[in-house]
Amino acid sequence: MLSKIISCATFGIEGYLIDVEVDLSTGLPGFTTVGLPDNAVKESKDRVFAAIKNAGFRFPSKKITVNLAPADIKKEGSSFDLPIAVGILAASQSVRSAQLNRYAVLGELSLDGSLRPIKGAISVSLAAKDNKLDGLIVPRSNAREAAIVEGINVYGFDNLIEVVAFLNGEIDITPTKVNREEIFEAASQYTVDFAEVKGQHHAKRALEIAAAGGHNILMIGPPGTGKTMLARRLVTILPRMTLEEALETTKIHSVAGILSPGDSVLGIRPFRSPHHTISDAGIIGGGHVPKPGEVSLAHNGVLFLDELPEFHRNVLEVLRQPLEDGSVTIGRAKVTLTYPARFMLAAAMNPCPCGYFTDPYHECRCTPTVIQRYHTKISGPLLDRIDIHIEVPSLKYDELKSTQPGESSVEIRARINNARKLQLERFKSKRKIYCNAHLGSKYIRKYCSIDDQSQSLLKTAIERFGLSARAYDKVLKVARTIADLENSENIKVQHIAEAIQYRSLDKNVWQRL
């Protein structure tokens, strides 16, 4: 007997349909899985055998062949347990076949027949909808996530017995329904706020400008000055995610298997802060079949690199492509995948190895050569992609003891939203340009023109502080954002003056040690 069950798998972050064909034939009892399965799929035969027996069904004593089609794409994961089990029961007449072509079936089986959650539920739900299936059968713990997709009936079950009874028409299950807007609103609340940050008004202003223009930012200061605290609150002032952005971000986290239990959709922008010992595969993504790395998990959010010079040089260098393209392409011998990776880079570093150079309260024990070597750990091409460098000094006692709350994230975000609207309107006809940080040399000349007074100030800054050639474009882009925050159509001299302050590493103060 032959049966065919429709299932789904993920390729990158996109779902696609898989036909699970099960054939029972005479001969010595055996179980063979073909169709390029990985080890997790091959091991499913033991889980399926125990689950069928312990659920009270008869396991056929025949030669069983399972084919996963199309056979030229690698199949991985444990989500094929349930469709294989249903296929075996259908081929042995325990499940009526009339319903099988209406639903996509996915789920990992425990040995007692209960269902365990799977990865990528939202991606497979989109695939089932696109292929006009009537519904999707998944473990109950994945039902709310899959039901976020409108236009597809999602049925959540606890065990194999319930799935068989549903397919046989013995029980009636109501599809899982969710209110997308209500869930999205509830998930959009941050637990931190800029009002909690004491002092550091200059740094907070720089972060506001960075968020308004999508600029990457580097914070330099002694230990304990609040660099990490500021970075963690950067996502709270970015424009709120749209539902489309939230779904795309959720797909990445779901495929990676890090979506928190009970979460249906990510409503807040992701904040990823990998340790400096991370490998290049960890930051970009990798594996035999490449999985998303930190740059993709930070998509639509912030990637924060603390202690920037301590990261391995090859790790920092691989950031250059995603920072430039907004995506990352990972090639392996048998497969090449592209993951989205449009994020803001926020980084922090000490001014020297001991951390106390420029700190008035502590003595620095580092020699000029050691400090210079420490700064050269960050390559020029990476610095070229960071628009704002800001010094974060130690707090004074009066600032620490102050009980006056600072400006809230909501108030700051309102100004940033207005600036982003101006930029979206300005660049609406330009491909892949959504904010000032994306401007190339061609468009900088067009949208960042300045008057003679501003040109004179910028020339003086370049000659006096030794600003690099690349700093010229960075200053103009940041000045454009400052002007947008003030709702000014033209870049004025005060905007240029403030933008020059945000080029700490380009100033030759580090060479005059």
DSSP secondary structure letters along 142-209: HHHHHHTSTTSEEEEESBHHHHHHHHTTSS--PPP---HHHHHHHTT--S--GGG--S-HHHHHHHHH
Distance CA 428, CA 433 (A): 8
For residue 87, pLDDT beyond 70: yes
* Count, residues in the chain: 513
Higher-pLDDT residue of 395 and 455 is 455
The band of 513, judged by pLDDT with boundaries at 50, 70 and 90, is very low
The rounded percent of the chain whose pLDDT value lies above 70 is: 98
pLDDT in tens, 227-265: 999 999 999 999 998 888 998 999 999 999 888 777 788
Mean pLDDT confidence for 72-88: 91
Determine the 3-state secondary structure of 367 from DSSP: coil
Q: Which residue has the tokens 């880079």?
A: 345
Q: How confident is the model at residue 511 (pLDDT cuts 50, 70, 90)?
A: very low
pLDDT at 98: 76
Q: Is 278 exposed, middle or buried (0-12, 13-18, 19+ CB in 10 A)?
A: middle
What's the number of CA atoms in the CB half-sphere (13 Å) around residue 495? 25
What are the pLDDT digits (tens) for 9-21?
A: 998 899 999 999 9
Tell me the pLDDT band of 434, cut-offs 50, 70 and 90: confident
Residue 506 confidence (pLDDT) = 67
Q: Using the predicted structure, report yes or no on whether residue 396 has a pLDDT greater than 80.
A: no
Q: How many whole angstroms separate alpha carbon 436 and alpha carbon 210?
A: 10
pLDDT at 264: 81
- Per-residue pLDDT of 347-379, as tens digits, reads 999 999 998 887 888 888 899 889 888 988 888
Q: Are strands 153-157 and 135-139 parallel, antiparallel or unpaired?
A: parallel
Instruction: Show the domains of the chain with their CATH numbers.
Output: 2-178 (3.30.230.10), 194-431 (3.40.50.300), 439-513 (1.10.8)
In terms of average pLDDT, the best of 32-41, 172-181, 292-301 is 292-301
Q: Give the type of residue at 356.
A: Y
pLDDT at 510: 47
Alpha-carbon gap, residue 240 to 473, rounded angstroms = 28
- The CA distance from 414 to 507, in Å, is 32
pLDDT over 90 (residue 393): no
Q: Please compute, for residue 367, the number of CA atoms within 13 A of its CA located in the half-sphere on the CB side.
A: 3
* Average per-residue pLDDT for the chain: 89
Identity of the amino acid at 480: R
Give the per-residue pLDDT at 509: 46
pLDDT average, residue stretch 43-61: 94
Residue 199: is its pLDDT beyond 70? yes
What pLDDT score was predicted for residue 33? 93
Task: Give the model's confidence band at 491: pLDDT under 50 very low, under 70 low, under 90 confident, else very high.
Answer: very high
pLDDT of residue 406: 79
Over 191-250, what HEC string results? CCCHHHCCCCHHHHHHHHHHHHHCCCEEEECCCCCCHHHHHHCCHHHCCCCCHHHHHHHH
**Which amino acid is it at 125?**
S
pLDDT range class, residue 185, cuts 50, 70, 90: confident
Between CA 301 and CA 269 the distance in angstroms is: 5
Radius of gyration of the chain (CA): 28
Specify burial of residue 347 (Cβ count, 10 A radius: 0-12, 13-18, 19+): buried
pLDDT digits (tens, 9 = 90+) for 221-237: 999 888 999 999 999 99
> C-alpha distances in angstroms, 370 versus 310, 367, 379, 510?
14, 5, 16, 12
User: How many Cα neighbours within 13 Å face the side chain of 508?
Assistant: 9
- In 3D space, the residue among 142, 135, 147 whose CA is nearest the CA of residue 100 turns out to be 135
CA angle 298, 301, 302 (to 5 degrees): 75
When mean pLDDT is compared over 173-182, 207-216, 251-260, the highest value belongs to 207-216
